[in-house]
Chain A
Amino acid sequence: MSDQLSLLWRQYRLERRMFWRNPSAAFFNFLLPLLFLAVFGVIFANNHKDLEIVLPAVAAMSVMSTTFTALAMNITFLREQGVLKRMRGTPISTGTYLGGVGLNAVTNTAIQIVFVVLAGRLVFGIGWPPDPVQLILFTFAGVICLASLGVALSHVIPNFDSAPAIVNAVFLPVVFVSGVSLDTKHSPAFAKDLAQVLPVGHVVTGLKGGMVAHSGGLGDHLSALAVIAAWTVLGIFFAVRGFSWESARS
């Protein structure tokens, strides 16, 4: 057991190093949400009401890009490159290996949430999160849900060349519809209905509850948690069921 734990740590360290050495991954998974934060922060700098929507929205977008986007791309890459197959032939256990890959993604989520919270307090004057338990709970729920959906999506991406297009074809509309970039009050009705069905808007709601005062306690957001949980069940089912260790071409 301790062997597998120390292997998990080593695999995690390797994934971290590989992440930072890949400039495009570092940019898209790491800098892009922070760039959004800076841009929206500047636009809405003097409007507290808007900032109180923008901050949790950017936090939710960070969760999605560090888990859903990053894992859909990464698992596709590792599968198409043959790294998954190579790993499968070594004694490292499946759980340990994929655990290292997953923890790498979650580390990026944690760092980004910390950045957003610090920016809210130090730059935009929103204050510290009034309900850190709710913030952590919804970050955690969002991570599990969107990570499993990202892995599930990787199963239908046929090759690495098409990965960015397919992933963004899902990521961008979901982000817009879920009000991550839009004010839901002024969105058309169908977008609002769709946002109610998709998980990301509910992650925004929960994160807002944690980050912004008087925006509802955990008790008010149980239905949001239920929607996220339902998507998580679907995500895990398809992530596990469709998992393939090798490229379909071989």
Chain B
Amino acid sequence: MTTDEPAIDVRGLRKTYGPHEAVRGIDFSVAVGEVFGLLGPNGAGKTTTVEILEGYRDRTAGTVSVLGEDPQLRSTALRQRVGIVLQSCGMYRHITVREALTHWSRFYPHPRDVDEVIAVAGLTQKQDERTRKLSGGQLRRLDFALALVGDPELIFLDEPTTGFDPAARRAAWETIRSLKELGKTVLLTTHYLDEAQELADRVAIIKDGGILAIGSPAELGVQGISRYQVTYVDAAGTAVAEETDDPTHLLHRLTAAAIDRGETLNELSVTRPSLEDVYLELTADV
């Protein structure tokens, strides 16, 4: 595989369950070494899409290539190069963290060192604990560790930090960033906008089985889908918010008028639309 070839390439992907069309013809590709986010509300088709890429589901139509292979064929070679963190996934209840990782590492031709993976996942203190004694967050870290132990080139993370407390989320983000530094490709689904904004090189916003927008978080914000917001408190103490596509001129007009009146605009701020604003605007029910 050359590095020009994308890690994931999806063209015209459709998936129907009886009369229900879960995915309605989507296209995107993910470059090698890229962190790509699929963002959307529940039921948007994120998990269906990811599970088709992971080889769990057969597609109804379209072409899909993952590391140059069709995931539907479920080749062993492909599964050796991919790590999967499913949205919710159980484990043997009586296995210890270390036993699980040692066992899983034997599925792969070139596994990472088990001790190192335990450390990366922050499970050193819990390595000899049975999984049924672990907290939800610790189990999620074990999911992470099990997906990383085979040293995959491509990692699927389906809502990896759901249910984490803020500190655990930051720690998980650090782990995901470290994967990027190692040159791994990551496909991330999330409904946390800050997570996508923080981690993803590019994001696809998906709703009702279709992609609404695709681009880097910054691009999605700037490309006029959403507008800049200028807020201030006027001399009478009233909070004012104005939206504009052209903040330069608006600011000039506002500040010039204020100076002419001999007033100041208190708490003046210009906010670039966040991914959240774009997301809410795009996914709002009309």
Interface SS of chain B: loop
Complex CA distance for A70 and B283, rounded to whole angstroms: 48
Known: A86-B91, A91-B108. A14 touches B76 (CB 8 A): no
A221 adjacent to chain B (CB < 8 Å): no
B90 lies within 8 A of A81 (CB): yes
Residue in contact with A83 in the complex, picked from B82, B92, B107, CB distance below 8 Å: B92
Known: A14-B95, A89-B56. A82 touches B104 (CB 8 A): no
User: From residue A86, how far is it (CB to closest CB) to chain B in Å?
Assistant: 5
A92 adjacent to chain B (CB < 8 Å): yes
Q: Which residue of B lies closest to A6 (CB)?
A: B106
User: From residue B96, how far is it (CB to closest CB) to chain A in Å?
Assistant: 10
A250 adjacent to chain B (CB < 8 Å): yes
Q: Which residues of A contact B107 (CB under 8 A)?
A: 7, 90-92
Total interface residues in chain A, CB < 8 Å: 22
Q: Which residues of B contact A245 (CB under 8 A)?
A: 56
B54 lies within 8 A of A89 (CB): yes
B95 lies within 8 A of A250 (CB): no
Number of A-B contacts (CB under 8 A): 63
User: From residue B157, how far is it (CB to closest CB) to chain A in Å?
Assistant: 13
Q: Which residues of A contact B137 (CB under 8 A)?
A: none
A10 adjacent to chain B (CB < 8 Å): yes
Interface SS of chain A: helix
Known: A89-B54, A89-B84. A81 touches B103 (CB 8 A): no
Q: Which residue of A lies closest to B78 (CB)?
A: A91
A22 adjacent to chain B (CB < 8 Å): yes
User: From residue A127, how far is it (CB to closest CB) to chain B in Å?
Assistant: 40
Q: Which residue of B lies closest to A20 (CB)?
A: B94
User: From residue B18, how far is it (CB to closest CB) to chain A in Å?
Assistant: 15
A46 adjacent to chain B (CB < 8 Å): no
> What is the interface of chain A, defined by CB distance below 8 A to chain B?
7, 10, 14, 17-18, 21-22, 80-83, 85-86, 88-93, 245-246, 250
Q: A14-B103, A18-B92 are in contact. List 13 more A-B contacts (CB 8 A).
A: A10-B106, A17-B95, A81-B90, A82-B90, A83-B92, A86-B91, A86-B146, A89-B56, A89-B82, A90-B79, A91-B107, A91-B108, A93-B76
Instruction: Show 26 residue pairs from A and B whose CB-CB distance is below 8 angstroms, ordered by the A residue.
Output: A7-B107, A18-B94, A81-B90, A81-B91, A81-B93, A82-B86, A82-B90, A82-B91, A83-B89, A83-B90, A83-B91, A83-B92, A85-B56, A85-B86, A85-B89, A86-B86, A86-B91, A89-B55, A89-B82, A89-B84, A91-B79, A91-B107, A92-B107, A93-B76, A246-B56, A250-B88
